Amino acid sequence: MANQASTSTRSSDKILAAATKIAQAHGYGGLNLRALAEEVGIKAASLYHHFPSKADLAAAVAKRYWEDAAAALEAISAKTPDAVACLRKYPATFRAALANDNRMCLASFMTAEYDDLPDVVKTEVLTFVDVNVAWLAKMLVTAEIVGAKDARTRARAIFAAVSGAQLMARGRADIKLFDTLIDTYRAAGLLPA
């Protein structure tokens, strides 16, 4: 019984990994279940054993994505006790997707399709934004860059700027453009230099 559960978990993980890669390139609308099943090497009907609907699959993908992002941000905090240094490292979390076959932050793609997303997916996508903004606000206050009153506003500006830089760089397939934009944000004082 435990072996069967382990196999099911591995299959779900494989499906989620492949679905994430597809969603990062094509968004929710491009998440084709037949193509996904083919990529994973299972029958399309078998997907429904793991995820009863496309909405359930997309919600699971988005949830895992924000959980992984939260873990990555906490790892930065744990390894780097200086909050200013943490803020300097933040753009790299978005740059990593570009460095991986010019992929996009999953939340950026899905947010662009927000009107067409099922509610369960919207919730998970917004959680990704909330996780990032909360972490940034905490780092900004800890670094004494802004007070608690202004932290969320500044954190939202940073999140929007970094995700926007990723959008521009992806559209041109030019990771150097991302780096240039981040350097510009630092020079302008939005991000610590």
- Please report the pLDDT score of residue 6 as a whole number: 56
- Map out the domains of the chain as residue ranges: 2-188
The rounded distance, in Å, linking the Cα atoms of 88 and 188 is 14
Does residue 72 contact residue 58 with C-beta atoms inside 8 Å?
Answer: no
pLDDT in the model for residue 185: 98
User: What does the pLDDT profile of the chain (193 residues) look like in tens digits?
Assistant: 455 555 567 888 999 999 998 888 888 998 988 899 999 999 988 898 899 999 999 999 999 999 999 999 999 999 999 999 999 999 999 999 999 888 888 777 788 889 999 999 999 999 999 999 999 999 999 999 999 999 999 999 999 999 999 999 999 999 999 999 999 999 999 999 9
Buried b (16+ CB within 10 A) or exposed e, 36-45: bbebbebeee
Concatenate the DSSP letters of all residues of 20-84 into one string: HHHHHHHTTTT--HHHHHHHHTS-HHHHHHH-SSHHHHHHHHHHHHHHHHHHHHHHHHHH---HH
d(CA 179, CA 145): 22
**Right CATH number for 2-188 from 2.40.50.140, 1.10.357.10, 3.40.50.360, 3.40.50.620?**
1.10.357.10
Give the integer Cα–Cα distance in Å for 141 and 138: 5
Q: Which two tokens stand for residue 177?
A: 């453009």
